[in-house]
Structure formats: C-alpha cells, structure tokens
Amino acid sequence: MCGIVGYVGNKEAQRILLSGLRRLEYRGYDSAGIITAGRNGETLLREKGKVAELDKKVAESEHNDIIGIGHTRWATHGEPSERNAHPHHVGDIYLVHNGIIENYQDLKEVLADRGYEFASETDTEVFTALIDSIYQAQDKKDLHQAVVDSLQMVIGAYGIAVMAKGNLDEIVVARKGSPLVVGVGEEEVFIASDPSALVGHTDQVVYLRDDEVATCSKDGVHLTDATATKVDTVVEKLELDIQAIQKKGYDHFLLKEIFEQPETLRSTLNGRVLKEQDLLRLGGLNMTDDELREVKNVFIIGCGTAYYAGMLASYFIEQFTDDVVIHNAIASELRYRSFNVPENSVALFVSQSGETADTLACLQEMKRRGVKCLGIVNAVGSSIAREVDGGVYVHVGAEISVASTKAFTSQAVAMLLFGLVIAQAKGMSLKELRPYIAELDILPDEIQSTLNSQNEPIKTLAKKYAHYEHALYVGRDSLFPVALEGALKLKEISYIQSEGYAAGELKHGPIALIDDKFFEMAFVSDNWLYEKTMSNIIEMKARGGHIITVTNSEKAIGTEEVVRVDTKLELLAPLIFNVASQLFAYYVAVERGNDVDQPRNLAKSVTVE
C-alpha cells in the first residue's frame, strides 16, 4: 500500500513527483504530499484526499527545486488527514514510508524522554524522529549511516525515502518487505515503489532487495546492505511502455482491462501452448519431469481475487488428475494456522502484484519448511517473483484498476497449464491432452466474442439492477468460484452488499435473505448439474427472488432476466461466465456514479497484513 516517489537531478522536482504520484495513486488515495528542496530551502506540501488536491496546493506554491520525495497514502496508523500525511518532518529529517513499524510505541517513549514531541498519530513520525536523533548525534553528518543505524532499532516492514535539511545532493532509500525501485538516468535518479512511475523517464532500473540501503544522487546509486557494507548494483532493463499505463480511450482502466483479456490471455499462452506440436511448455518452473511426477499435493495460496482464481483452477485440475490433491488456502488465514504439509507437496503463490504481505509470509513459511515454491505472478521482479524457486509469469501487463479482472483470467489459465504439465509428466496421453489444448486455443476468441455480444445488453441490464442494495451470487461446481469472484467484484466497486454461495447451500441459510431488496445472480452451465442448479433457481423464484440467470443453455429459463453466453467451451466455460459478470459489476458501479478505478477504502497492492 501507499506510493513513494523521489527525484534528484537538474529538472523541476515538483512536477516530476506529482506525475509519479498520479501513476501510483491506485496504491492508496487517502492523502498525498511532497517535500522538495532547492537554493531557497525546503518546501513541504501535504493535503488530505487525492493527488489532484495536492496538485492545487503545488500550483499555488511552485518552486524550481531539484530534489524531492513524495507519497500517496493508504491510512494504517491515524485517520486520513493532512496532519497524518507524509512526508513527515522532524528536526532535520524528512521521511516517506510504506509499511508498518511495529515497535513504534516503545520508540516513541524513548524519543519523548529525549525531548521529541509528536504532531501526528503515525508510526512514520516516530521513525522520522528516530533517524533525526541519530543524525543530530553525528559529528560528521552522514545520512546513509543514520538510516542504517536507525534500521537496527525498528521492527516491522518498510520502504522508505529520506532527505535531510540542507542536503541537496542525496536521497537515502531502504526496504524491508515493501517494494522500491530506483531508475537511473543521465545525471538524475528517480525513485518509486512501483516501476510504472518511472515509465517515460528511464528504462534502466535497480530493484532494491530486502535489507538494502541506497544513497541516490546525480552520480547514480550507491548500494549497501544493512550493515553499510557495499553491495554490487545490478541495473536491469524495464520492460514497460507508456501505452500500457494509459486508458487508451476507455472511460476507466477497469473497462480497458476487461476488454484487454483476449490479448493478455494470448500473452499468457504465448510460447507455452504449442498447438501444432501438441506440446505444453512452462520454461520457468525449474522442475524436472521426475520432480513433476512426484507431485501428490498442490497448495494454492493467495488473497481476494487471486484466491478465487486458485479455487477455479483446482476445479479444472481435478478433472484430469487422480493422484493429486489440491489444497486451496487464503494466505491471511494460512499464515497463522498450524497446518501440515504432506510429503511431495508443491506450493503455488498467486498474486497479481507479487507484493501481497500475507501471501509473501506464507511463501516464507513454506520455504522454511523446505517446500518447493512456485509463483503465479504478474509483476515482473516483484517480491514474490524473486523469492520463489520458479513459476509462471501471467504477463497481463500493468493492471491499474484496483479491481482485478484480466489477472484473474490469466492466473486461472496459468495454473491449469501447471496442472496439465504435471499430468503430462505423469503419463497423460496426447489424445487426452488435445481437447484441453483445443479449448485453450479458442478461449481468447471466445472471450472476444462474449465482450462484443454482451457489452451493450449487460450495460442495459446493469441500469435495471443498480438501485438494489443486496445481491446473492450462486453457482455450482466450477461456477461456484465464479459466483464468489462475481460477488467480490460487485461489492468492491458498486458497494452493493453481495455474497457468493454454492447454489446447493442456499437451503442451509442464505435463502432466508431473499426479499424485494435483493437480486440474485445465478450461473447455470448446460452440463450434468443443469437440473440441480435449476431446482435452486426455482426455489429462489418461489420466494419472490429477482433473478438474473447467466447461462450457456438454450433451454427456457423463466427468470426475471437471462444473459445467454454462447460458448463451445466445456472445461473453460466458467471464464466466459466470469467476463459477463465483470461487465455487469462495472456497469452497475458506473450507474451508481462510483469511482470505479479507485473504490473507497481500498488500495491495489496490500503490503500490510
């Protein structure tokens, strides 16, 4: 959560920082601030609300400064307010921080005894005072060393950028559990918690690793470990272009990302599904065929949409494996359970951002237990991607909207590929494999034709249901995770209270909810469970339900509304139903006038537990 930016060079720092913050705003949008410095001293500007509010303040106080740091906040300690906004300033030190300092109360008491007073409720202000107290005690001012010394005393997670009063040459950055990347240009350096803020400035980047500290100046990046011992700097090429982070004519990033799915899915499949050769290839797994053959248990771990993608993938994989048990786990639960890991297990960590704190914590625990860990990750170079033994990048490009859509589709498919690769190693014949390859081959086109045919009808449908305050989403078998994901999508962007249920569970409680304030979304597949699900629909109808049925069946349905999705797919049909459900959530949220890309109280990557 939270976005950090920094700049040191010869250009106007204020404008560079503001444009970086706008790109990072999806990480948090409770308040924003920048501190810049030049020949006339420092200017600290902070404002509650979005970056646009800060922008107005900057317009009234423009400075030709050449160094600065900035922050857009998702509140943890202390309400969203100007007082609690970053950068924090204590003594000679300015600090922006992403993460949580767990022992800040203890440090606060020590620092209060030394005469420090605190204006905010934040852990970050305490951290700032700590660095200042060390800095003030130095005979020869050394900001890098002051940061290194302070890090010995804090417990918790951080990505930080630090400036000192009167020092126009350096920004010191450090990370532990919260991403930071430094872009290196010609006599200038850019700092960001996400590489999207660097696009258009430079493609030469240095990803900080945990426990590294860097001094950034016009001369470049000077990197050390947590004991101030020099570390080699590895400069990598950033593969992200400006197109990928623009709306390209769509009203919202969310709609753009829904519509990108045929193309992003092709990127996921590219080079991995070789139809002509009847071959599947996953280069990054780093597992031999013998190791794949040994696999008996697959843990699939993630949060939110990534968790639901894992659940959907487990329904897929169970169709063609008979000696593999799949264990789906919510990362924020698993990390505090005393769970057992059987022999011959691998663990998949599913994450768009690759930074989700709970998923990362599970990864570290599984590694400690010696389990083979694989990532199903989108963000290249992210923490999870770096810590796993191997994995599958989903390659969907930047997903800017807080609500995850294109990542879900590609995560489910990437895990299906992993399941098929295991099955192949265990002896799945070509004849058995071909139908799956054939489905994967037509999936992008099928998604495209669903988008083309359903966009307008679903837009109209959404207008009719946008005034409801409650919704039930139901489905059976592999449409159950689609119901869960559909309900999550609707609630997070429309604020309609929506719950996903297994259709067969309705009679065990949820059916009591049905009244005129509710509508129900039922997913019905034209397969062996058709009659069973229709019985559930009839039961809801008998109780006055306002039911929208999404189905690939041509039979008469008889509910208030029916969305017909036309698909030849069998195994992968749920992904088509899900696209219809994404469009519905999007248009309901638009109809309700919500901030679709940046829903209230949320942030794109959840780097706090």
Q: How far is the CB of 320 from ligand M6R (least distance, A)?
A: 26
Is 412 near ligand M6R (CB under 6 A)?
Answer: no
Cross-strand bridge partners of residue 302? 330
Site for ligand M6R (CB under 6 A): which residue of 90, 238, 329, 402? 402
Active-site pick, 2, 216, 362, 373: 2
523 vs 201, 464, 527, 577, CA distance in Å?
A: 46, 19, 12, 7
Site for ligand M6R (CB under 6 A): which residue of 404, 478, 498, 582? 404
Is 306 near ligand M6R (CB under 6 A)?
Answer: yes
Ramachandran assignment for 28, one of left (phi > 0), alpha (psi -120 to 50 degrees), beta (any other) = left
Site for ligand M6R (CB under 6 A): which residue of 492, 499, 520, 597? 492
Active site (annotated) includes residue 362:
no
Is 582 near ligand M6R (CB under 6 A)?
Answer: no
Interacting residues with ligand M6R between 519 and 548 (CB under 6 A): none
Site for ligand M6R (CB under 6 A): which residue of 28, 78, 304, 481? 304
Is 351 near ligand M6R (CB under 6 A)?
Answer: yes
What is the C-alpha to C-alpha distance for residues 458 and 481, in angstroms, rounded to an integer? 21
Is 352 near ligand M6R (CB under 6 A)?
Answer: yes
Sign (positive/negative) of CA torsion 463, 465, 468, 469? negative
Tokens describing residue 235: 């400069």
Site for ligand M6R (CB under 6 A): which residue of 182, 298, 300, 303? 303
Cβ proximity to ligand M6R: between 63 and 256 the closer is 256
- Residue 516 sits at φ, ψ, to 5 deg, of -75, -10
Q: How far is the CB of 307 from ligand M6R (least distance, A)?
A: 8
Active-site pick, 256, 406, 489, 604: 604
Identify which range of 73-81, 275-283, 398-406, 473-481 contacts ligand M6R by CB under 6 A: 398-406
Alpha carbons within 13 angstroms on the beta-carbon side of residue 218 total 10
Q: How many residues bind ligand M6R (CB under 6 A)?
A: 16
Residue type, 458: I
Is 605 near ligand M6R (CB under 6 A)?
Answer: yes
Cβ proximity to ligand M6R: between 124 and 352 the closer is 352
Residue 88, C-beta contacts closer than 8 angstroms, at least 6 positions apart: 94, 95, 96, 97, 120, 122, 124, 125, 127, 128
Identify which range of 118-126, 239-247, 350-358, 566-574 contacts ligand M6R by CB under 6 A: 350-358
Q: How far is the CB of 589 from ligand M6R (least distance, A)?
A: 12
Cβ proximity to ligand M6R: between 302 and 545 the closer is 302
Q: How far is the CB of 402 from ligand M6R (least distance, A)?
A: 5
What is the C-alpha to C-alpha distance for residues 147 and 214, in angstroms, rounded to an integer? 10
Cβ proximity to ligand M6R: between 133 and 411 the closer is 411
Cβ proximity to ligand M6R: between 351 and 549 the closer is 351
What is the C-alpha to C-alpha distance for residues 260 and 255, in angstroms, rounded to an integer? 9
Q: How far is the CB of 378 from ligand M6R (least distance, A)?
A: 7
Q: How far is the CB of 34 from ligand M6R (least distance, A)?
A: 26
Is 357 near ligand M6R (CB under 6 A)?
Answer: no
Interacting residues with ligand M6R between 17 and 36 (CB under 6 A): none
DSSP reduced 3-state for 386: helix
What is the C-alpha to C-alpha distance for residues 388 and 373, in angstroms, rounded to an integer? 5
What is the C-alpha to C-alpha distance for residues 512 and 524, in angstroms, rounded to an integer? 21
Helices then strands, counting H and E runs in the chain, come out as 17, 26
Active site (annotated) includes residue 2:
yes
Which residue is associated with the tokens 């990480």? Answer: 27
Site for ligand M6R (CB under 6 A): which residue of 5, 58, 160, 403? 403
- Residue 598 sits at φ, ψ, to 5 deg, of -130, 70
Exposure pattern of 68-85 as b/e (b: 16+ CB <10 Å)? bbbbbbbbbebeebbebb
Of residues 345, 47, 24, 77, the one with CA closest to residue 191: 24
DSSP reduced 3-state for 3: strand
Residue type, 129: A
Cβ proximity to ligand M6R: between 377 and 443 the closer is 377
Residues recognised as catalytic: 2, 604
What are the residues binding ligand M6R (CB under 6 A)?
303-306, 351-353, 356, 359, 402-404, 488, 492, 605-606
